[in-house]
Amino acid sequence: MAVEVPEKKKSKFTFPTAYTILALLVVIVAALTFVIPAGKYETDPSGAPIPGTYHAVDPSPQRLRDVFLAPIDGMYGVQNPEGNVNVYNSGDLYGAIDVAMFILMIGGFLGVTMKTGAIDAGISYVVKRLGAKGKLLIPILMIIFAAGGTSYGMAEESLAFYPLIVAALIALGYDALTGVAVIMLGAGIGVIGSTINPFATGIASGFAGITIADGLIQRIIILVIGTALGIWYVMRYANRVKNDPSKSRVADMKEANEKHFLRAEAQTEAPEFTTRRKVVLALFGLSFLIMILGVIPWADIGVSFIKTRYWWFAELAALFMVMSILIGIVARMREPDLVNNFIDGARDMVGVALVVALARGISVLMTNGMIIDTVLHWCEQALAPLGPVAFINVIYLLYLPLSFLIPSSSGLATVTMPIMAPLAQFAGVPSSLVVTAYQSASGLLNLFTPTFAVVAGGLMIGRVPFSTWWKFVLPLVLMLAVVTMVVLSLGTLVLAR
């Protein structure tokens, strides 16, 4: 009698969330304070470390109590064992509480705006207005999504547009992959060139001790070139599919996709683009314009007709709170609806605020354990032989695996900038270029990594297999990486001291 051997179930590995990764790093860093020698740099009046002044100090190992308190302490400020706030930048002085409040306020702002239906209606209006001019639909939509990516890091919000846009492009003779590429590459390239993205550039700039306006020119160049390159790449593929449908990478799914998406489009009623929604969109754009005007140090760049206000996280949080109320009033939301929509939007950002707290806890332990300067000293010695151009490119390449290991852009900025920004000063490279290298690398990886929920969700909604997407997008990813490295290199040649 044959004995049936039960089939072993294959265990599916799930990549841990940013919270678990950062929590493990907190514990590891605490353990390292028992191993890594304690040391300290002398600092100049601005709080920046002075190269060549590193010296050993008495060890200050961090114990279990310190591990649990680290994220809490990181929210309020970093106190070193000598009782003084260790400031390499303004972010350390005040901790991360201002960052967390800003994240919650802009989350509420986005929640109120999205509830008005203005963004959905605006994009639907563009799709319908172009009608049969399908060829123009691709560049226009990619520019719109790139604007969302560069201004507020449009990601999860883009998922709502896949059924409509994929269906519209299929109806015009293209395929599902074209529709997915328009949205994912449009928003993704916008994030790569995050000019004023508060969740990436803003947080990283704060912890690097600079304003969001620093490095803006380089980011605009990356955004413009990257978007143009993405439009060319998608249109080249789309034209090939239009001329010969058999050349579609999803040709075997053509009939099934047409039935699925065109039927879904018929059942989906897009919101009307009313005058009220147009005003809401105008206020939405005005909010980011005011943010730019408020944070740029106009006096420092010789502009006298615009007043320099030196706004940062506290003022920007207030700005987005006020604009949320104004948008709610224009949209004629009832008071309970406005409040609930704001709270729902802020609730969606609680996870990001917690990530910042956890990540800040790592900096607390390294600072209180007196090892952050030691790590900085080792990096200084390792990278000393490199010139500024080689340095910035090494940093960019280093951020690619770091972006995979720490999938939260906010968490990655919070963890790394206290080391990377002073290190850039040692190399004679502006901290703004390190911020640009970080955000570009993080954005690039999020065009294809399966651990990014937006990629997985977008491909699932668009019915495009992962393997098909990777084959399609990897040549463009390499081109975007080259563009970014060239811009970083030229920026270093111009700005490095």
Residue 133 has pLDDT above 80, yes or no: no
Residue 396 has pLDDT above 90, yes or no: yes
Residue 83 has pLDDT above 60, yes or no: no
Give the pLDDT of residue 377: 87
Give the pLDDT of residue 122: 87
Within-domain flag for 324: yes
Give the pLDDT of residue 92: 41
Residue 131 has pLDDT above 80, yes or no: no
Residue 169 has pLDDT above 50, yes or no: yes
Give the pLDDT of residue 146: 94
Within-domain flag for 20: no
Element (H, E) at 347: helix 335-348
- 238-262 burial by CB neighbour count: b if 16+ within 10 A, else e? beebbeeeeebbbeebbeebeebbe
Domain count, the chain: 1
Q: pTM for the whole thing? A: 0.80
Distance set, CA 176 to CA 183, 228, 247, 250 (Å): 11, 21, 13, 7
Place 87 in a pLDDT band, splitting at 50, 70 and 90.
very low
Element (H, E) at 55: strand 55-56
Place 480 in a pLDDT band, splitting at 50, 70 and 90.
very high
DSSP-based three-state secondary structure for 85: strand
Within-domain flag for 417: yes
Distance CA 118, CA 112 (A): 10
Indicate left, alpha or beta for 341 from its phi (over 0: left) and psi (-120 to 50: alpha): alpha
- Chain centroid offset of residue 448 CA: 14
Name the more confident of 399 and 18: 399
Residue 452 has pLDDT above 70, yes or no: yes
Tokens of 353: 């605020």
Tokens of 416: 């790394």
DSSP-based three-state secondary structure for 49: strand
Within-domain flag for 17: no
Residue 7 has pLDDT above 60, yes or no: no
Positive or negative: CA dihedral 463, 466, 467, 468: positive
Element (H, E) at 56: strand 55-56
Give the pLDDT of residue 303: 76
pLDDT tens string 252-287? 988 888 887 776 555 556 678 899 999 999 999 999
Name the more confident of 302 and 53: 53
| pLDDT winner (highest mean) among 102-111, 384-393, 482-491 | 482-491
Within-domain flag for 81: no
Name the more confident of 203 and 328: 328
Distance CA 54, CA 378 (A): 10
Average pLDDT, the chain: 85
Containing domain of residue 222, as a range? Answer: 89-495
Give the pLDDT of residue 265: 55
Give the pLDDT of residue 100: 86
> Which phi and psi angles does 197 have, rounded to 5°?
-60, 110
Within-domain flag for 75: no
C-alpha torsion 280→285→286→291, nearest 10:
140
Within-domain flag for 251: yes
Tokens of 22: 């950062």
Within-domain flag for 159: yes
Report the percentage of the chain scoring pLDDT > 70. Answer: 90
Place 248 in a pLDDT band, splitting at 50, 70 and 90.
very high
DSSP-based three-state secondary structure for 43: strand
Q: Where are the alpha helices (DSSP H) in 200-304?
A: 203-208, 216-243, 254-267, 275-295
Place 231 in a pLDDT band, splitting at 50, 70 and 90.
very high
Segment among 89-93, 117-121, 190-194, 450-454 with least mean pLDDT: 89-93
